[in-house]
Amino acid sequence: MAHRNSFTVHYDKTYTSTAIGLHWLIAALMVCGFTLGWVMTSIHGFTPAKLRYVSWHKWIGVTVFALAALRILWRATHRAPPLPRGMAAWQRAAAHLVHVLLYVLMIAIPITGYLFSSASNVPVVYLGIVPLPRLIAPDPTLKVIFKTAHAVLNYGLAVLVLAHVGAALKHQWIDRDGLLARMLPFLK
């Protein structure tokens, strides 16, 4: 059995290449979407730059939604590699909970953004080419509700992502249990 602070504990399995690719692609898109959201909401009025950022933000949201749905389907048919055997039960439960919440938010955030656009009477035209159907009629009350929900869920996502990254780094640098190699196989 390996000592707690050695790099000798490794996993025989990693996530599939598809799962790894989807993970990092969605993560990069979420960072870009969050950053664009932060920047565009700080611009006062409707400048050409703000309108461009809003479009890009929406396109990223639609893309994240589609990739997250694909990722959930992939995950439902492909088991995740095992967690370290010595991991405490509470850590296993926390890891599972954070992953479930991340999946929920990857779906819920684009939906609330899409509903906010619909309630605001602003169409979503994916990549400037494909107009997406309006799901609800314009409604000022729903506009405020979905705008608030979209913002709150995004900040919740930011907290969960920081916890996820922090836990991964803790496992890599403090526990030294090889957990991060499941998503970054070159660390083996």
pLDDT per position as a tens digit, 138-166: 999 999 999 999 999 999 999 999 999 99
pLDDT, greater one: 12 or 75? 75
Class for domain 17-187, per CATH? mainly alpha
pLDDT per position as a tens digit, 76-91: 999 888 888 888 899 9
HEC profile of 52-109 = HHHHHHHHHHHHHHHHHHHHHHHHHHCCCCCCCCCCCHHHHHHHHHHHHHHHHHHHHH
pLDDT-derived band at 40, boundaries 50, 70, 90: very high
Domain boundaries defined on the chain? 17-187
